[in-house]
Structure 1
Amino acid sequence: MDFHIFRLFRLISVAVFILHGSCYSDKAGYYSFSKDAATSAPMLSHFDYIVIGGGTAGCALAATLSQNATVLVLERGGSPYDNPTATDIGNFLHTFLNTTPNSWSQLFISEDGVFNSRARVLGGGTVLNAGFYSRAEDDYVAETGWVREEVAAAYEWVEKKLVFQPQIKGWQTAFIDGLLEVGVTPYNGFTYEHVHGTKVGGTIFDPDGRRHTAANLLEYADPQMITVYLHASVHKILFTTTGNMRPKANGVIFRDTNGVFHTAKLAAHSALNEVILSAGAIASPQLLMLSGVGPASHLADHGVEPVILDQPMVGQGMCDNPMNAVLIPSPEPVEVSLAQVAGIPHFGSYIEGGSGLSVSISLWHSFYGAVINLLNEMKLPTKTLSRFFKLLDLRVNVTTQAGRMVQKVDWPISRGHLELRNTNPDDNPSVTFNYYQEQEDLNNCVEGLSTIIKVIDSKKYSKYMFPGVTGRGLLDFILGLPINLRPRHINSLFDLKQYCKDTVMTIYHYHGGCQVGKVVDNDYKVLGIDALRVIDASTFLKTPGTNPQATIMMLGRYMGLKILRERAEFLETKEEL
């Protein structure tokens, strides 16, 4: 078929698909192109693009690439549509804290003693998170070198499918009023933009409390051009290494739930075909190392061979935005709400809040049972947890009618690293974030907590406070909960710096490990290797906006379009020749 006629046919078919896209948005039937690897994956297959990870970036990227190329998505987890009510707002904590072997949330514990969670489900972290949607700062976009107009269009593409204006009720209104009273001004109302002051952001929960995720972006995909294999755990990226030529990615090996290994290769008809890692800040550097791209001595220690490229920066620059929380028992009923409002002061901390989530005692015990099991697997002591369980039942009962406010340190300069623990890609690697190692991060935490205490003590928030209770006095509540494995110090109640260190948690915004300028170039191509990119939060030098999910999805769309333009230009040049 003539190339130009082929392109016209493809454009018409894409347009027809978009116009009739509702037939693919019926979640009961699910997407025809999504299949279980164990029952559907052939032993050998060929695609123009192989996307490792059907998460926050991967779904947007794959849906875009499918408009003019064949795409394979390999997702190690299952589908959120298999249990749609599990993603409803009322089931948020149950789904998030469910750590059974086949759950969507995989528990891991950093070397800092902080509990973390990795998504293993189509849609990635958007299936588990608190739903807040906010774009990146203008300065952030400028620093990356992205084209501003294309960034805006990519955000809008995401927003059309899965972002809503939240319904602000009593507790969140008092939270807004308290922020304004203590000087987190001006009030910017509802906006996706990152602006100083207090604002209402977007949410991926619709007015009925139903969650919409990055998996919904696959409704944009051409079903004839995309294949998604679920429960497909990638074990290794394959390379061709000929003489003195640069290594070139040419496929992957993945395993299904029956333990059968499959091979997916890049189709040979185009020099532009690529393997693209979108497995997240933990799995992307881990998979690079397991495939022989990383610090040579470290790979040798774990028996990884052959070493494709000695790249000492893989796994370096790991960073997590530290979070500290204050729980506020309320004399008044509170609505169930997740993050809807953000305080964006001029110092380096953001403030968010939520209310009314119910945590059953059995769920807490199940979660901490999983923590103890993981500690035993890691051969780490479990004594730190045992002293908390006596107070656990009493304190958890209070949380069903309470608000909580959190501060997240913006752009922390404390950095850590990731290393292999073993060669099983389904196991957690060893991750160190070095929370509050740098004094500047600690100072920002103190400012954030001090502002929260003022909000709690403000007149506008007083309806949700018991008489005689102060914001400072509530710090003791968190100190009595097993929120991490770090030691508690007797002076934590009187020294906010020590409180920050003792009660640090993750806000699940970790990034780094495959950073731009160190592991990948500005087009996210892996330095020193052909046909391999990394497009996800592992490439970030710092996390965008108050919450990164909007920008991670945007990046998938933005880079997908850029890659397709490169492809079209290459094909047109080839046709002319």
Structure 2
Amino acid sequence: MGKQADTKLVDYVVVGGGSAGCVLASRLSEDPGVTVCLLEAGPSDTNPTIHVPAGMLWLMRSKVLNWQFNTEPESHLAGRKLFWPRGRMLGGSSSMNAMCYTRGHPQDYDGWAAQGNAGWGFDDVLPYFRRSEDQSRGASTYHGAGGPLHVSDFRAPSPLTRTYIAAGVQAGFPENEDFNDGENQEGVGYFQVTQKNGLRWSAAKGYLDPARDRPNLHIITAAMAHRVLLEGQGDERRAVGVEYQHQGKLHTIKARHEVILSAGALQSPQLLMLSGIGPGPHLQQHGITTLVDLPGVGQNLQDHLDVMVVHQGKRALSRGLTPQNILGGPWSFYQLMAHGQGMFTSNGAEGCGFLKSDPSEPIPDLQLHFMPARMRNHGRDLRFLMGQGFSMHVCDLHPKSRGQITLKDKNPASHPAIQANYLSHPDDIAKMVKGIKQVRRIFAAPAFDHDRGAELAPGPQVTTDEQLADYIRQHAETIYHPVGTCKMGTFATDPMAVVDDHLRVRGVRGLRVVDASIMPTLVGGNTNAPTIMIGEKASDLIKAARRA
């Protein structure tokens, strides 16, 4: 493969067309005097299964639209390799996720600011959440209306989800109608979702679609970035472009002002390391010349580890692949397309909960995702999904375990090595054992008496803390929230910081990282809305730098 003879030149190159990348491409190209190129390794978002919420089941199995990463063997999870799905198309994971709209707790962001990241406290980031949002309930102190990202209530929730909420109240938890209403996060209720008229509303739909026809925005799909191009030495080292592969050839695109990595918590650090930016000894191990020795690149990996409690159901109410639902599929599809209603509008995880594992906890430390279906193995076990039943995910919101992303080799097409190190801190498994107990309390409430069949997992024979801990080690999986691998921090005091509070990469001019990898700590909730917020705030930082 030889390099293409012509070299393109734009003002900004954005690598990665996921949630944050879509925001940046849209916001930066609002100025007609600025040229922007967005590089996305996957295809466009034209596949219809992307836009039908129930299409998630197919997307979990797709080898075209899903990166289908796997971790290395996890020593505290019985040596298992965990499946990590990530979106590989315009919109990234916002084009294949469960569309759950939560932001975390205000203290999460105030914690970022307390670590020295000026401008990242909750009061600082709230305007960007509001700017991004088109809340179907209307604008309020905590919500925006008219923004690119539609946020709505479920059009056709399952009766089982209503039962879950009633059971949660019976178990002593408050009902919560808005998990994003400032400090009021605790309780049980329905998720709000990034949907419009019952269809998925991804970052690509909200941000890219209105901008696609702008003459100053160039979107290149099937473009695999190989490395960031650097020039200069020492303090004068600067990112000047990106080398990428497209249609079997290597191409180069140069940036007048900045290169921005928005490839996500796995691939942004991978691309930095392939470019010679990262831990020197690790780069040398793979024959990569160290241009900027940054030990924090790929470190600080955090994720929400999740475990499920599953019950057999007594009534034909499940949203799984039951005979009733299969026979009713054509009618459900008609309801979706004609009225934005019906079973196909379901994201699977309809019920939300933020609970305290113990009353002494200052803020919720557990999150629930209730599913009105029998589920295991990320919905890929279709035979299990055919039965009647219901499931609950529970995760520890603030894990203390830390992992890392490293290179397997210097081939840009290779997947990075994911070592999540789940449960390496002993406090994490104790918290998850408490989580299972809280879920069992809810499922034992009278509201479920008409629907509660046998407990299929962990199973009635699993009762002691050690038995529950062993079940967790054997069966826990990701709930899809990896962050932290290009940590934001203060360079003077934090040697593991990769970017500063303006998201500029340490030791390289003209290079930023803008995605979930910059989170210094994991937020207590789903990560898609916070990632979009990061893109919104970064767009203002980048515009301000250009004006300076």
**TM-score, with length taken from structure 1:** 0.77
Structure 2: runs of 5+ lacking an equivalent: 75-80, 114-119, 135-148, 320-345, 358-364, 490-496
Question: Partner of 1:237 in structure 2?
Answer: 228
Alignment partner for residue 294 of structure 1, among 278, 284, 291? 278
1:192 maps to a residue whose letter is: N
**Aligned: 1:60 with 2:23:** yes
| Distance across 2 between alignment mates of 1:514 and 1:530 | 16
**TM-aligned CA distance change 1:164 to 1:398, over 3 Å:** closer
**Aligned: 1:227 with 2:218:** yes
Alignment partner for residue 189 of structure 1, among 174, 177, 184? 177
Q: Shift of residue 419 of structure 1?
A: 1.2
Question: Partner of 1:103 in structure 2?
Answer: 65
Deviations 1:229-278 (A, max 9, x none): 00000001001124x4331100000001x3101101012xxxxx111111
Deviations 1:492-531 (A, max 9, x none): 8962122222211001101121111211111111111111
1:234 maps to a residue whose letter is: A
Question: Partner of 1:255 in structure 2?
Answer: 245
- The number of residue pairs the alignment matches comes to 471
Question: Partner of 1:49 in structure 2?
Answer: 12
Q: Is the 8 A contact 2:19 2:93 kept in 1?
A: yes
**TM-aligned CA distance change 1:192 to 1:333, over 3 Å:** farther
Q: 1:14-93 counterparts in 2 under 5 A?
A: 43-68=6-31, 69-81=34-46, 83-93=47-57
Alignment partner for residue 129 of structure 2, among 147, 155, 158? 155
Question: Partner of 1:211 in structure 2?
Answer: 200
Question: Partner of 1:125 in structure 2?
Answer: 93
Question: Partner of 1:276 in structure 2?
Answer: 260
2:532 maps to a residue whose letter is: M
| Distance across 2 between alignment mates of 1:192 and 1:207 | 21
Deviations 1:454-477 (A, max 9, x none): 1111111222212xx3x4x63149
Q: Shift of residue 158 of structure 1?
A: 2.7
| Distance across 2 between alignment mates of 1:406 and 1:554 | 25
Deviations 1:425-466 (A, max 9, x none): 222111111111112111110111101111111111222212
Q: Is the 8 A contact 1:353 1:404 kept in 2?
A: yes
| Distance across 2 between alignment mates of 1:419 and 1:397 | 35
| Distance across 2 between alignment mates of 1:399 and 1:456 | 21
Structure 1: runs of 5+ lacking an equivalent: 1-40, 268-272, 368-391, 480-489, 571-577
2:190 maps to a residue whose letter is: V
SS in 1 for 2:391: strand
**Aligned: 1:341 with 2:351:** yes
Question: Partner of 2:367 in structure 1?
Answer: 350
Q: Shift of residue 150 of structure 1?
A: 5.6
| Distance across 2 between alignment mates of 1:354 and 1:515 | 33
Question: Partner of 1:383 in structure 2?
Answer: none
| Distance across 2 between alignment mates of 1:107 and 1:494 | 30
**TM-aligned CA distance change 1:157 to 1:335, over 3 Å:** farther
Structure 1 stretch displaced more, 400-409 or 219-228:
219-228
Deviations 1:349-377 (A, max 9, x none): 11111123799x9x98xx7xxxxxxxxxx
1:504 maps to a residue whose letter is: A
SS in 2 for 1:519: coil
Q: Is the 8 A contact 1:93 1:357 kept in 2?
A: no
Question: Partner of 2:158 in structure 1?
Answer: 169
Question: Partner of 2:395 in structure 1?
Answer: 408
| Distance across 1 between alignment mates of 2:242 and 2:385 | 49
**Aligned: 1:427 with 2:414:** yes
Question: Partner of 2:488 in structure 1?
Answer: 516
Question: Partner of 2:444 in structure 1?
Answer: 457
| Distance across 2 between alignment mates of 1:566 and 1:247 | 18
1:296 maps to a residue whose letter is: G
Deviations 1:5-64 (A, max 9, x none): xxxxxxxxxxxxxxxxxxxxxxxxxxxxxxxxxxxx984111111111010111112211
**TM-score, with length taken from structure 2:** 0.80
| Distance across 2 between alignment mates of 1:398 and 1:520 | 43
**TM-aligned CA distance change 1:346 to 1:136, over 3 Å:** same
| Distance across 2 between alignment mates of 1:334 and 1:148 | 40
| Distance across 2 between alignment mates of 1:151 and 1:320 | 22
Q: Is the 8 A contact 1:199 1:343 kept in 2?
A: yes
**TM-aligned CA distance change 1:398 to 1:52, over 3 Å:** closer
| Distance across 2 between alignment mates of 1:148 and 1:332 | 44
Q: Is the 8 A contact 2:66 2:85 kept in 1?
A: no
SS in 2 for 1:421: coil
Q: Shift of residue 159 of structure 1?
A: 2.3
**Aligned: 1:94 with 2:32:** no
Q: CA-atom RMSD, angstroms?
A: 2.6
Q: 1:388-403 counterparts in 2 under 5 A?
A: 396-397=383-384, 399-403=386-390
- Percent of residue pairs identical: 28
Q: Is the 8 A contact 2:310 2:374 kept in 1?
A: no
**Aligned: 1:309 with 2:292:** yes
2:175 maps to a residue whose letter is: Y
1:540 maps to a residue whose letter is: M
**TM-aligned CA distance change 1:398 to 1:559, over 3 Å:** closer
| Distance across 2 between alignment mates of 1:158 and 1:219 | 15
| Distance across 1 between alignment mates of 2:94 and 2:388 | 26
| Distance across 1 between alignment mates of 2:291 and 2:226 | 15
| Distance across 1 between alignment mates of 2:355 and 2:18 | 31
**TM-aligned CA distance change 1:122 to 1:50, over 3 Å:** same
| Distance across 1 between alignment mates of 2:440 and 2:315 | 19
| Distance across 1 between alignment mates of 2:424 and 2:375 | 34
Deviations 1:128-172 (A, max 9, x none): 111100123111222334265663332233322332111333011
Alignment partner for residue 264 of structure 1, among 253, 270, 277? 253
| Distance across 1 between alignment mates of 2:405 and 2:121 | 31
**TM-aligned CA distance change 1:43 to 1:330, over 3 Å:** farther
**Aligned: 1:143 with 2:111:** yes
**Structure with the larger helix share:** 1
Alignment partner for residue 504 of structure 1, among 476, 484, 490? 476
| Distance across 1 between alignment mates of 2:391 and 2:375 | 13
Question: Partner of 1:327 in structure 2?
Answer: 310
| Distance across 1 between alignment mates of 2:371 and 2:12 | 40
1:356 maps to a residue whose letter is: A
1:80 maps to a residue whose letter is: D
**TM-aligned CA distance change 1:503 to 1:317, over 3 Å:** same
